[in-house]
């Protein structure tokens, strides 16, 4: 059973009433079909109202939903013949980033993404999706390998941010992220990035320099977490909802600012409600994106990527 979020409570309570009436009908043999039909129509209307008017903070909660599909879930659904590759050939293997070789409709591709856990034990193993430097170096190793063998690269982004601990800083966290930004800008193969949940700061950007960048409908992308922004602005992390509602972090905001190239729709209630449908929509976006990028030459791919990021933002030159 899906874990409910605070704003979903009225809908969950209404559905419980429907289930109680159905159970009472089965046990007592009394016909409540008319009442059940009315409540089901009411629930359907309420569901549409709730999910069509989500605030940025509510989208943030959906993006962080513990049952939201992970990179490995999407790899299993979208690709075939996946072979996971490990290690950065320098320090070790970071479980917060997964990657390897797979096939998309029979075509070899390289797939890389942040990986969160499914439960407490798994989250500890995956460091809650927050990579160390070796994670970013592993990702870059796989991207360079993809370039060598002329394979398109598909990246899934879902992280609160790069791990800020002492060990990560000692091993060169900022250098690893900066190197990824530089090297990804120069890759001579198609690069497609999708923010599937949280796109947190440089930890997300280190896998986000692509020819095309998409976001799921309820994903977020920001330079800092709402909690971090609230702590800086008001010295109170509990004001996270207030910060989220003013930070312009939703997919709709990112599209308006030309940061992303498109929004991938989610099933009503979020990606975790229907993995098959969500994966099918994502695959369609990836296939269509590759159709547009594959005709470009190596130089054209690099130039297109360069111009994409040059166009982001607005500024005024004063002579």
**Tens of pLDDT along 147-156?**
999 999 999 9
Mean pLDDT of 212-229: 93
Q: What is the pLDDT of residue 77?
A: 96
DSSP reduced 3-state for 172: coil
Buried b (16+ CB within 10 A) or exposed e, 172-182: bbeebbebbbe
314: pLDDT strictly greater than 80: no
d(CA 29, CA 167): 65
In the block, residue with structure tokens 């549409």? 48
Q: What is the pLDDT of residue 30?
A: 67
Q: What is the pLDDT of residue 60?
A: 94
Please tell me whether the overall predicted TM-score, pTM, comes out greater than 0.85 for this model: yes
Which two structure tokens, joined as six digits, stand for 1?
Answer: 């059973």
Q: Which residue has the higher pLDDT, 276 or 37?
A: 276
Per-residue pLDDT reduced to its tens digit, 79-127: 999 999 999 999 999 999 999 999 999 999 999 999 999 899 999 999 9
162: pLDDT strictly greater than 70: yes
Per-residue pLDDT reduced to its tens digit, 54-81: 999 999 999 999 999 999 999 999 999 9
Mean pLDDT of 43-64: 90
Q: What is the pLDDT of residue 2?
A: 59
d(CA 153, CA 274): 25
Q: What is the pLDDT of residue 138?
A: 97
Per-residue pLDDT reduced to its tens digit, 250-287: 999 999 999 999 999 999 999 999 999 999 999 999 99
């Amino acid at each position: 059973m899906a874990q409910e979020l605070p704003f979903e409570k009225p809908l969950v309570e209404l559905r419980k009433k429907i289930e109680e009436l159905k159970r009472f009908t089965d046990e007592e043999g009394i016909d409540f079909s008319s009442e059940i039909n009315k409540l089901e129509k009411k629930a359907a209307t309420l569901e549409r109202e709730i999910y069509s008017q989500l605030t940025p903070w509510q989208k943030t909660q959906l993006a962080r939903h513990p049952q939201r599909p992970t990179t490995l879930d999407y790899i299993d659904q979208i690709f075939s013949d996946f072979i996971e590759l490990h290690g950065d050939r320098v320090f070790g293997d970071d479980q917060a980033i997964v990657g390897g070789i797979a096939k998309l409709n029979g075509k070899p591709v390289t797939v890389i993404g942040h990986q969160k856990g499914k439960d407490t034990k798994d989250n500890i193993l995956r460091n809650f999706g927050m990579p160390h430097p070796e994670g970013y170096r592993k990702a870059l190793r796989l991207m360079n390998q993809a370039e060598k063998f002329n394979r398109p690269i598909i990246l899934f982004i879902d992280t609160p941010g790069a791990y800020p601990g002492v060990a990560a800083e000692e091993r060169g966290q900022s250098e690893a992220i900066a190197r990824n930004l530089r090297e990804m800008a120069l890759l001579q193969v198609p690069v497609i990035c999708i923010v599937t949940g949280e796109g947190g700061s440089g930890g997300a950007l280190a896998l986000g320099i692509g020819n095309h960048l998409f976001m799921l409908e309820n994903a977020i992308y920001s330079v800092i977490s709402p909690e971090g922004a609230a702590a800086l602005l008001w010295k109170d992390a509990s004001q996270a909802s207030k910060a989220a509602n003013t930070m312009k972090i939703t997919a709709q905001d990112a599209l308006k600012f030309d940061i992303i190239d498109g929004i991938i729709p989610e099933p009503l209630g979020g990606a975790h409600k229907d993995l098959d449908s969500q994966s099918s929509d994502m695959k369609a976006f990836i296939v269509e994106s590759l159709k547009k990028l594959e005709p470009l030459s190596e130089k054209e791919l690099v130039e297109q990527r360069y111009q994409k990021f040059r166009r982001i933002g607005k500024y005024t030159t004063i002579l």
